[in-house]
Amino acid sequence: MSGFATARQKMVDGQVRPSDVTDIRILDAMLAVPREAFVPENRQALAYLDLDLDVSEGGAAKRYLIKPAVLAKMLQAAEIKASDRVLVVGCATGYAAAIVAQLAAEVTATESDSALAAKAQALLAQNGCGNVVVRTAAPADGDSAKAPYDVIVLNGATGIVPEQLYGQLRDGGRLVGVFATSRPARATIVTASHGDFGHRALFDAAAPLLPGMELVPAFVF
C-alpha cells in the first residue's frame, strides 16, 4: 500500500468512522478518491490531516477543502441517493464534488475563481468523475440553470441565510452546510417542503466562510 493510500485509510479509520459516519457508500468513496490529487503538490503531505486545507495558489483568494469528517457527516445527513442530482457550492479544486460523484447520478459544482474552476474540472476528469460539471459562479448564486436539485452541499460555511440556494431545491430536497449565522457555528440540514424550509442543527462545526457569504455588519449610527 502506498504512503497516500495508507494515509487515506488512516483518515477514514481515525477521523471519519469515529465521527459516527456509518454509511458504507461514503466510507468507500473516501477510500477511493485520492484527496492528495486535489491539493497543490507542495501541500500534499497535509492532504489527510484533520484540518481545513488551503488549496489556493499564488495571489488567489483563499480557498479550502473542508475537514474530511465534517464533509462526511454532512453527506451522511443529506442521504444522497444514487439517482439524485446534486449541487456542490464553492467546490475549490473539486474534492467534495469527487466524493459526491461516487454517490449521486449527476453533480454540478460551482467555484467563484474561474482559474480554480477550470483546474477542478480537469482534476475531476483525470480522476474519473465524468458525471460532474464545474461552472464559474458566486457561491450564493448556485446554478439555477440546472435546478431544481435533490441535494445542495456547501463546501464551506455561510454567515448569511442562503435564500437563493433554497429556491434551487426541489420539494423534499436537502441543503447541508456549516451555518455561521450564530455562535457556535453548526452544521445544519435545511429541507424544502411545499415552499417552506425546515432547519435542523446537526452538530457544532467550524469551516472557512465561502466568498460572498460572509455576514456584512449593519451600519450603526
Q: Are strands 85-89 and 149-158 parallel, antiparallel or unpaired?
A: parallel
Would you place residue 218 in the very low, low, confident or very high pLDDT band (cuts 50, 70, 90)? low
Give the domain CATH number at 81.
Answer: 3.40.50.150
Count of domains observed in the chain:
1
pLDDT in tens, 147-199: 999 999 999 999 999 999 999 999 999 999 999 998 999 999 999 999 899 99
User: 149 in a domain, yes or no?
Assistant: yes
The chain-wide mean pLDDT, for the chain, equals 95
Say yes or no to pLDDT of 89 above 70.
Answer: yes
Residue 210 lies in a domain: no
Residue 198 lies in a domain: yes
Cell of 20: 459516527
Question: Does residue 220 belong to any structural domain of this protein?
Answer: no
Q: Does some domain include residue 211?
A: no
| Res 1: pLDDT | 55
pLDDT digits (tens, 9 = 90+) for 14-70: 999 999 999 999 999 999 999 999 999 999 999 999 999 999 976 667 899 999 999
**pTM to 2 decimals?**
0.95
The domain containing residue 119 runs over which residues? 3-204
**Residue 58 domain flag:** yes
| In-domain check, residue 209 | no
pLDDT at 219 over 70: no
Contact 61, 55 (CB under 8 A): no
Cell of 50: 484533520
Return the sign of the alpha-carbon dihedral for residues 206, 133, 165, 60: positive
Query: Is 134 within a domain?
Result: yes
Q: What Å distances lie between residue 120 and 24, 95, 219, CA to CA?
A: 26, 8, 38
